[in-house]
């Protein structure tokens, strides 16, 4: 990894793909099959007669390949990507931690994996128990009074929480007009506020990267519905005046929403409900080790105080007088269902497995290890890279490219160069409050040995930025594809395969008509 120095003449950047790519359409040949269906042993059904014109009879163009060609195609594709099983993901804010295999084993148990959401409650007591246990766990961890597991992701949880805030204010005769959002917040926060019908008012940070209390007092009024506060913030800093912030809001009848995406810095150490938060979301994929992104689906539960409980999405799991569990749909003030059924149940199973495997002491240890790892990186790299905020870091540290930019090397260049050293890039150019941000979050998953490899690689890249900046500016050099034209890729994405096609008339003619 870091001891391999990729020096020498940089390759010329290119925007075209390798002509030897393993494309399934190019390998297609008429008559090839990867399977053979058994002979039909029941009467054939005329689907068109049974279902009408909705039945699709033209299935479009599909490649014809042998089994070994298909296996090799997808196996090769898997080797072109990066994975947490291969190495560290230092993505700040995203929290790409290792997902323990025991979680997957539990989620695949027959009675859990094969349970159907439409089966009777009498046959679903085990699944309902898992939901209730997860809800109770989150109540205890957050210090809140109630939860819903319905939301499918963090941003979806934000949406649910702000809908609840709106419903709460409406129940008092005034939905209010605006939501305050610090400039250090996650980018989804202002989008959520706007989608829920609120005006967004930007709240500037002070010199320590935290909420400016004087500015907050000036901005909060009777038109303010809430403050959406990411805590710890996107620069990895805990809002030390969080209780004063809550008091300022509550004095004007406004609520405090906490973006709990960075809760992995607080679990077992501090509870948002104890310092004045009214409603928050959590990310099970970030804090509780369920699959993230392409390994999803996600889960973004929302926890709230008693005053907001009536507005939680329905249904909720409740305990009957006889001790059995049931789904309560009779919630007249609910904001309504925000997800099919009860949410992404498989994620609850995985998260609960993680919580029970660790226990209270283990969860506290993961938090402490995550904070220790981030501060170890900070201590080792401070001086190599500019540290814009001197405030104590928690689970992540944000540097900037200010020192390297003097030689024309930007944060994106160094992130791409890091790929040559066997690591995924850190989070580039975010948070926006830091010019040229380099956002690094090691999580608790990484050992000191792995952290040292990352640190050595970044120090070597910093040296390259001084001695041979072009090498960094044209990275990566060891990947299957060289640096791409990112602007064109973002503005004119190619989302479908368009050829060249296989050289046989039927496929050529059909594909050309299709495209």
The pTM assigned to this predicted structure is: 0.86
104-356 against 363-485: fold identical:
no
Residues 302 and 155: their CA atoms lie apart, in Å, by 11
Q: Which of 97, 92, 118 is nearest to 425 (CA)?
A: 92
Residues 358 and 369: their CA atoms lie apart, in Å, by 13
Look up residue 220 and give its two tokens: 């909060």
> Would you place residue 513 in the very low, low, confident or very high pLDDT band (cuts 50, 70, 90)?
very low
> Would you place residue 55 in the very low, low, confident or very high pLDDT band (cuts 50, 70, 90)?
confident
The Cβ-side half-sphere exposure at 341, using a 13 Å CA radius, reads: 14
Is-contact 497 36, C-beta < 8 A?
no
Q: CATH number for the 363-485 domain, one of 1.10.1740.10, 1.10.645.10, 3.30.540.10, 3.90.1150.10? A: 3.90.1150.10
- Could you please report the per-residue DSSP string of 452-478? HHHHHHHHHHHHHHHH-HHHHHT---S
Q: Which of 422, 458, 456 is nearest to 440 (CA)?
A: 458
> Would you place residue 207 in the very low, low, confident or very high pLDDT band (cuts 50, 70, 90)?
confident
Residues 227 and 216: their CA atoms lie apart, in Å, by 9
Mean pLDDT of 61-68: 86
**So where are the chain's domains?**
104-356, 363-485
Mean pLDDT of 395-399: 97
Domain 104-356 listed as CATH 3.40.640.10: yes
pLDDT in tens, 131-173: 999 999 999 999 999 999 999 999 999 999 999 999 999 999 9
Residues 255 and 104: their CA atoms lie apart, in Å, by 38
User: Phi and psi for 74 in degrees, rounded to 5?
Assistant: -75, -30
Residue-level pLDDT at 1: 44
209: left (phi over 0), alpha (psi -120 to 50) or beta: left
Is-contact 234 430, C-beta < 8 A?
yes
> Would you place residue 23 in the very low, low, confident or very high pLDDT band (cuts 50, 70, 90)?
low
Residue 1 to residues 6, 9, 31, 124, 415: CA-CA distances in angstroms?
10, 20, 46, 49, 15
List of residues 6+ apart from 305 with CB closer than 8 A: 144, 145, 273, 277, 278, 279
Is-contact 145 164, C-beta < 8 A?
no
Residue-level pLDDT at 16: 34
Cβ-count burial of 369 within 10 angstroms (0-12 exposed, 13-18 middle, 19+ buried)? Answer: middle
Higher pLDDT, 138 or 77: 138
Is-contact 409 442, C-beta < 8 A?
no
Measured at the CA of 187, the angle between CA 283 and CA 96, to 5 degrees, comes to 40
């Amino acid at each position: 990894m870091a001891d391999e120095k990729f020096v020498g003449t940089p390759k010329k950047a290119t925007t075209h793909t390798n002509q030897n790519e393993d494309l399934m359409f190019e390998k297609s040949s008429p008559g090839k099959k990867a399977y053979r269906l058994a002979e039909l042993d029941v009467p054939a059904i005329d689907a068109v007669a049974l279902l009408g014109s909705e039945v699709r009879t033209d299935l479009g163009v599909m490649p014809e390949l042998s089994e070994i060609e298909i296996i090799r195609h997808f196996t090769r594709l898997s080797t072109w990507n990066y994975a947490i099983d291969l190495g560290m993901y230092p993505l700040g804010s995203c929290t790409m931690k290792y997902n323990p295999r025991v979680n997957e084993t539990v989620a695949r148990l027959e009675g859990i994996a094969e349970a159907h959401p439409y089966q009777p409650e009498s046959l679903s007591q085990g699944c309902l128990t898992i939901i209730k246990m997860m809800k109770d766990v989150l109540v205890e961890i957050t210090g809140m009074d109630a939860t819903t597991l319905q939301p499918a992701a963090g941003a979806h949880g934000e949406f649910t929480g702000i809908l609840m805030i709106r419903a709460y204010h409406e129940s008092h005769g005034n939905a209010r007009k605006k939501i305050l959002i610090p400039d250090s917040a996650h980018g989804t926060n202002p989008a959520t506020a706007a989608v829920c019908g609120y005006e967004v008012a930007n709240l500037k940070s002070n010199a320590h990267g935290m909420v400016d209390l004087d500015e907050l007092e000036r901005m909060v009024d009777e038109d303010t519905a809430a403050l959406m506060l990411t805590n710890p913030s996107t620069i990895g800093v805990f809002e030390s005046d969080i209780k004063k912030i809550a008091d300022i809001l509550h004095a004007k009848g406004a609520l405090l929403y906490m973006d709990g995406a960075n809760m992995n810095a607080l679990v077992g150490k501090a509870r948002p409900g104890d310092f004045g938060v009214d409603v928050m979301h959590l990310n099970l994929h970030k804090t509780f080790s369920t699959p993230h992104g392409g390994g999803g689906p996600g889960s973004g539960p929302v926890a709230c105080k008693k005053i907001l409980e009536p507005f939680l999405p329905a249904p909720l799991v409740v305990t009957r007088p006889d001790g059995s569990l049931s789904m309560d749909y009779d919630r007249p003030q609910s904001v309504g269902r925000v997800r099919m059924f009860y949410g992404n149940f498989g994620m609850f199973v995985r998260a609960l497995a993680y919580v029970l495997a660790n226990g209270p002491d283990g969860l506290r240890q993961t938090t402490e290890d995550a904070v220790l790892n981030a501060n170890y990186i900070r201590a080792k790299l401070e001086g190599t890279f500019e540290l814009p905020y001197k405030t104590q870091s928690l689970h992540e540290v944000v540097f900037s490219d200010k020192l390297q930019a003097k030689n024309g090397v930007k944060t994106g260049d160094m992130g791409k160069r890091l790929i040559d050293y066997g690591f995924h890039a850190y989070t580039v150019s975010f948070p926006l409050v830091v010019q040229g941000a380099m956002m690094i979050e090691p999580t608790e998953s990484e050992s000191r040995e792995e952290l040292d490899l990352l640190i050595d690689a970044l120090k070597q890249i910093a040296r390259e930025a001084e001695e041979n900046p072009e090498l960094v500016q044209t990275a990566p050099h060891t990947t299957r594809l060289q640096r791409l034209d990112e602007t064109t890729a973002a503005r004119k994405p190619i989302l479908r395969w368009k050829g060249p096609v296989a050289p046989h008339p039927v496929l050529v003619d059909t594909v050309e008509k299709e495209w």
